[in-house]
Amino acid sequence: MARFLDSDLWWDFKHSPLVMTSAAITALMFLVALFAPQVAPYDPFDMASIDLLDALRPPAWAEGGSVAYLFGTDDQGRDVFSTILYGSRISLLVGFLSVIMAMLIGVLVGLIAGYKGGWLDAVLMRIADIQLSFPAILVALLIDGVVRGILPRGAHEELAVLVLIVAIGLSFWVQFARTVRGSTLVERTKEYVLAAQVTGLPDTLIVFRHILPNVMGPVLVIATIQLALAIIIEATLSFLGVGVPPTSPSLGTLIRIGNDYLFSGEWWITVFPGLALIVLVLAVNFLGDWLRDALNPKLR
């Protein structure tokens, strides 16, 4: 811990107000999402507490607004503030798990390709190239569509979140694989790896104990930036109607629902979830950018 407090990374962090603000916002949104049932004033999915008479109320400060509904209510009388809290929960869950999945696949593929080289490297990287020639959202749409076709109608509603995680995860591994492969190619020729080979360590041990820790730096940076991207993709898919169902809406679903009311004057239903999404993605992106620069000794 003392080592961390003394490190250049921490020093850098403390001297950048933008980064500290971003970190604070990210942390706040995480906590709020995690403890949504405790923090939110209403449970928007509890049918008993929803009153249709409260539908389409404007935000608290606007005319006709009520202090009870800070950001107003949607067409079914659900509190927009509460739906945002519950919605960011789904968004962050999908974002996190899909990036972790992409990271696991990508790091493994990258390590194998970079360390083994030869035809295996060539095959793996050509697969990566092919996938990279499709936009990530298209790949995610494709996977989502295929799964929808396979699964029975009812099952999809329940598994929607899982399907989304797999779809986004499978469309994101290439970035990780390429970066890890590149770093592995460099690390593989370093003398500490040769020393391990001379000792007779088996390849798996060399790869996981020696190379992996040394290529993780850039991976964490990509993971942060990809997290923001994954949240956006999830929102896009949900906005297009192929994501999570409206019964357990994510931020993207909320924006889509509100979109229908945008031109009839009920702007708050879509604007507040949109703002929440922007703030979250921006904060995570700033963190990722900073991490990339801070971990790159050439930019110091």
- Phi and psi torsions of 79, nearest 5°: -70, 120
Using CB under 8 A, which of 36, 40, 80, 196 touches another protein?
196
Locus of tokens 């990271």: 103
At closest approach, how far in Å is the CB of 186 from another protein?
10
- 297 lies in the binding site for another protein (CB under 8 A): no
Among the listed residues 24, 28, 31, 190, the single contact to another protein using CB under 8 A: 190
CA distances, 200 to each of 192, 193, 288 (Å): 13, 11, 38
Q: Kindly state the smallest distance separating residue 201's Cβ from another protein, in Å.
A: 6
Please check whether residue 133 is in contact with residue 201, taking contact to mean a CB–CB distance below 8 angstroms: no
Q: Which of 197, 236, 248, 285 binds another protein (CB under 8 A)?
A: 197
Residue closer to another protein (CB basis): 79 or 121:
121
Q: Choose, by CB under 8 A, the member of 195, 240, 275, 278 that binds another protein.
A: 195
Cα atoms found within 13 Å of the Cα of residue 132, Cβ hemisphere only: 13
In the complex, minimum distance from the CB of residue 294 to another protein, in angstroms, rounded to a whole number: 14
Using the rule CB under 8 A, is 11 a contact of another protein?
yes
Query: C-alpha dihedral over 11, 13, 18, 24, to 10 degrees?
Result: -130
Q: Which of 238, 231, 244 is nearest to 160 (CA)?
A: 244
Distance, in Å, from the CA atom of 176 to the CA atom of 286, rounded to the nearest integer, reads 19
Indicate whether 299 belongs to the interface with another protein (CB under 8 A): no
44, 79 in Cβ contact below 8 A?
Answer: yes
Q: How many Cβ atoms are within 10 Å of 4's Cβ, its own excluded?
A: 8
Interface with another protein includes 198 (CB under 8 A)? yes
Output 214 or 248, the one with its CB closest to another protein. 214
**Per-residue x/- mask for another protein, residues 62 to 101, rule CB under 8 A?**
----------------------------------------
Number of residues that bind another protein (CB under 8 A): 17
Instruction: Please give the residues from 201 up to 220 whose contact with another protein meets the rule CB under 8 A.
Output: 201, 205, 210, 213-214
Contact criterion met (CB below 8 Å) for 56 and 266: yes
Q: CB-wise, 134 or 192, nearer to another protein?
A: 192
Give the number of other CB atoms < 10 A from CB of residue 47: 8
Provide the minimum distance between the beta carbon of 199 and another protein in the complex, in angstroms, as a whole number: 4
- Contact residues toward another protein (CB under 8 A) are 8, 11, 190-192, 194-201, 205, 210, 213-214
